[in-house]
Amino acid sequence: MTSEVVRTARLVLRPPHPDDADAVWRACQDPDVQRWITALPVPYTRADAADFVGVIAPAARARGTGMLAVVEADGELVGSAGIDRFADEQLGPAIGYWTAPQARGRGYAAEAARALADWALELGAPRVHLVADVRNTASQAVARRAGFTQEGVLRSALPYRDGTRGDAAMFARLPGD
């Protein structure tokens, strides 16, 4: 999976380059990205972006358990989408995404999520899941648009930065969905 590239009608999901760090840094200043992706360091520094493109994403691919991609449309970086935990025999691989604020509302996140799920299911994953905060209506709409079905609510499954926790909507796609 080290150099895997997934293409859709409008998008290319490819491994990040060092040159992507600036666009990643800018997008990750967005309050919604910082609010909903609780694993993101806050404040999000240029060093964090360099780490994402140069260390975190290559390491995820090198482990062979998934891929962390940047999403390009018309040659511009418009977001990021990833899939990991291919080895999880119970829940199947997990998908995550963000879209840069200036590129939202064009269906990019849903197109990327659908393509990653298709790719994983074609590789033989029995199911693909994604977890969204119950208050993150945008992400839940993306999941539905990408062909996922909500299966339930995982209570107190999300750790927030302030030490409190929140509920998560569990979505999944199976082969044939």
Ligand X SMILES: CC(C)(COP(=O)(O)OP(=O)(O)OC[C@H]1O[C@@H](n2cnc3c(N)ncnc32)[C@H](O)[C@@H]1OP(=O)(O)O)[C@@H](O)C(=O)NCCC(=O)NCCS
Q: Mask of contacts with ligand X, 91-130, x by CB under 6 A?
A: -----xxxx----xxxxxxx--------------------
What are the residues whose beta carbons fall under 8 Å from the beta carbon of 155, sequence distance 6 or more?
167
The phi and psi torsions of 147 (rounded to 5 degrees) equal 95, 10
| Max CA separation in the chain (angstroms) | 42
Which region among 15-23, 32-40, 48-56, 152-160 touches ligand X (by CB under 6 A)? Answer: 32-40
The reply to whether 56 sits near ligand X by the rule CB under 6 A is no
Query: Which CB atom, from 7 or from 106, has the smaller least distance to ligand X?
Result: 106
Q: Which of residues 124-163 bind ligand X (CB under 6 A)?
A: 132, 136-139, 141-142, 145
Q: Would you state the torsion angle of the CA atoms of residues 71, 46, 38, 121, taken in this order, to the nearest 10 degrees?
A: 20
Q: Which is nearer to ligand X, 32 or 51 (CB)?
A: 32
Q: What are the DSSP calls for 140-173, one per residue?
A: HHHHHHTT-EEEEEEEEEEE-TTS-EEEEEEEEE
Binding site for ligand X (CB under 6 A): 32-33, 36-37, 96-99, 104-110, 132, 136-139, 141-142, 145
